[in-house]
Amino acid sequence: MESLVAILYLIAVFAFAYGIRMMRHPKTAKNGNFISLVGMILGLIGAMIQPLDNGDNNYIWIIGAMIVGGAIGLPLAQKVKMTAMPQLVAMFNGLGGASATTIGVVELININNQTPVGAKVVSILALIIGAISFTGSVLAYLKLEGKLRKQWVVPGHNFWNLVIILVMIALGAMISSANSGIGWPLYVMILLALFYGIFFVFPIGGADMPVVISLLNSLTGLSAAAAGGIYGNKAMLIGGILVGASGTILTILMCQAMNRSLWNVILAGKFQAGGGAGSDEDQVMKEITKPDAAILMQYSKNVLVIPGYGLAVSQAQKIVKELDDLLATTGVDVRYAIHPVAGRMPGHMNVLLAEADVPYEKLLDLDDANAALKDTDVVLVIGANDVVNPSANDDPGSPIYGMPILNALDAKHIIVMKRGRGTGYSGIENPLFFHEKTRLYFGDAKASLNEIIAELKENL
């Protein structure tokens, strides 16, 4: 039985690694997801077979929990909209962290004289990291859902951050040295870890949410790895390490895309709502009519679409693909500029456009897009704000100064689709919207695109 479990875990780990590798490209991502799913099923089978060796029989609890979880998760996954995918990911992270916390608490409550110090330390790490991931993810969910827009920064926030961490380390040392009857140190640690998840996420602004989601994902992976270490489950251990490592790498890459350090993001050093360039003069957003927008794009050689969260909110990805196909019949070359932190989670825009069957070859990364913008006739910005904000280049007082952006101003003409005249999710004013090259098309992106498509069809 032990050999069978080892083989199942080995295959599961290979499936995880190979599945993640296949997810690097949209053409193979679906198969990669399926292979990873097979690995997860094999890992579950191995975990359920393993207790047979020692006579444990908790299958009623296990199967019952799987039925309840499946009954809740399946309809949620089927009904979730693409615009709510970041919220779903945040909750997945949180529930994974809560599971690791529960495992850590159970193991620490049951420690005795024979419990090795190493096992205690691993259980403590699972508890702390899981609890931080749980409450932090719940708070991130509330921010993404728009139910919590306030940024709360306690005076001396960094100092209290350090104090909480040091207290948790001290409590961990007390628990590690105890042989039984931990008592109050364990309960204080649980409360502090849960509170810290809220404390470090609360001051982080909306524009940093993609980085926060990625960071919390890596923390959940680390907590899962710690839980795997507790039970000697190699599939869980290596799977958690893979998630933690990939989440960490992605977090670092996204920080680099914003020209900031992870430490700066965690300490909420920038992206405070309400920042941005100011002006003593009244600035006016100049609008464009439906016929003018249609004609401008129809008689262009090339159009570059810059998608943002507004595209996801309006569920307009398939409509923009229809516009793409229609313009292609007139000889217009349409491509898409993807900023690494556009949307509310890593790869958000890529997922949306892949759902609409936009060819992957049409998606340009930041550097390629900026090179193409210098020879672009029309830029169509759909619901994006910070990733096209020129203040990042020329306003040292802006909270996004130094962040690499898509240089939409390099194009000859700019059309921006916005729902209103506000500053958007992050609260940062965007001078691009007032520039002489820019024309605004107000309204829901899906409805606006449909209007332009109808006008184009009349002209053809």
Range name among 332-346, 396-410, 422-436 with the lowest pLDDT average:
422-436
Q: Are strands 378-382 and 363-364 parallel, antiparallel or unpaired?
A: unpaired
Task: Give the pLDDT confidence score for residue 377 in this predicted structure.
Answer: 95
Task: Give the pLDDT confidence score for residue 449 in this predicted structure.
Answer: 94
Task: Give the pLDDT confidence score for residue 315 in this predicted structure.
Answer: 86
Task: Give the pLDDT confidence score for residue 426 in this predicted structure.
Answer: 59
Q: How does DSSP classify residue 285?
A: P
Both tokens of 404, joined, read 């690499």
User: CATH assignment of 290-459, given 3.40.50.980, 3.30.70.920, 3.40.50.1220, 2.40.50.140?
Assistant: 3.40.50.1220
User: What average pLDDT score do residues 76-93 get?
Assistant: 80
Long-range contacts of 279-288 (CB under 8 A, 24+ apart): 283/431, 283/434, 284/434, 285/421, 285/433, 285/434, 285/438, 285/440, 286/436, 286/438, 286/439, 286/440, 287/439, 287/440, 287/441, 287/442, 288/415, 288/439, 288/440, 288/441
pLDDT at 344 over 80: no
Which band of pLDDT confidence, cut at 50, 70 and 90, is reported for residue 280?
very low
pLDDT at 23 over 90: no
**Integer CA distances (angstroms), 429 to 134, 253, 282, 365, in order:** 33, 25, 14, 24
Task: Give the pLDDT confidence score for residue 273 in this predicted structure.
Answer: 46
pLDDT at 264 over 80: no
Which band of pLDDT confidence, cut at 50, 70 and 90, is reported for residue 322?
very high
Task: Give the pLDDT confidence score for residue 274 in this predicted structure.
Answer: 46
Question: Phi/psi at 6 (nearest 5 deg)?
Answer: -60, -40
Contact 262, 376 (CB under 8 A): no
Residues 182-210 pLDDT 10s? 788 889 999 999 999 888 888 776 667 77
pLDDT at 272 over 90: no
pTM of the model: 0.75
pLDDT at 17 over 70: yes
CB-neighbour burial class of residue 11 (10 A; exposed 0-12, middle 13-18, buried 19+): middle
Task: Give the pLDDT confidence score for residue 373 in this predicted structure.
Answer: 94
Contact 202, 16 (CB under 8 A): no
The larger pLDDT score, comparing residue 316 to residue 206, is at 316
pLDDT at 181 over 70: no
Task: Give the pLDDT confidence score for residue 453 in this predicted structure.
Answer: 95
Q: Of the candidates 293, 283, 285, which has an alpha carbon nearest to the alpha carbon of residue 415?
A: 293
pLDDT at 346 over 80: no
Which band of pLDDT confidence, cut at 50, 70 and 90, is reported for residue 282?
low
Q: How far apart are CA 409 and CA 426, in angstroms?
A: 21
Handedness of CA 357, 359, 360, 364 (dihedral sign): negative
Whole-number average pLDDT of the chain: 84
**pLDDT more than 70, % of the chain:** 90
Beta strands in 292-396 (DSSP E): 302-307, 333-337, 363-364, 378-382
Question: Phi/psi at 423 (nearest 5 deg)?
Answer: -90, -5
User: What average pLDDT score do residues 351-374 get?
Assistant: 90
Contact 333, 303 (CB under 8 A): yes
The larger pLDDT score, comparing residue 101 to residue 256, is at 101
Contact 386, 400 (CB under 8 A): yes
Which band of pLDDT confidence, cut at 50, 70 and 90, is reported for residue 51?
low
pLDDT at 399 over 70: yes
Of 51-65, 153-167, 259-273, 299-313, which one has max mean pLDDT? 299-313
Positions annotated as catalytic residues are 386
Contact 85, 345 (CB under 8 A): yes
pLDDT at 279 over 60: no
Of 230-244, 398-412, 430-444, which one has max mean pLDDT? 430-444
CA atoms within 13 A on the CB side of 206: 24
User: What average pLDDT score do residues 238-253 get?
Assistant: 87
Which band of pLDDT confidence, cut at 50, 70 and 90, is reported for residue 275?
very low
Q: Are strands 363-364 and 413-418 parallel, antiparallel or unpaired?
A: unpaired
Long-range contacts of 450-458 (CB under 8 A, 24+ apart): 450/319, 451/290, 452/290, 452/293, 452/294, 452/297, 452/323, 453/319, 453/322, 453/323, 453/326, 455/290, 455/291, 455/293, 455/294, 456/294, 456/297, 456/298, 456/323, 456/326, 456/327, 457/326
Q: How far apart are CA 57 and CA 226, in angstroms?
A: 24
The larger pLDDT score, comparing residue 87 to residue 54, is at 87
User: What average pLDDT score do residues 391-418 get?
Assistant: 88
Task: Give the pLDDT confidence score for residue 55 in this predicted structure.
Answer: 58
Q: Which strand (E) or helix (H) includes residue 416?
A: strand 413-418
Distance of CA 8 to the CA centre of its chain: 31
Handedness of CA 226, 264, 410, 443 (dihedral sign): positive
Residues 418-454 pLDDT 10s? 887 766 555 678 899 999 999 999 998 999 999 999 9
Lookup result for tokens 């809220």: 198
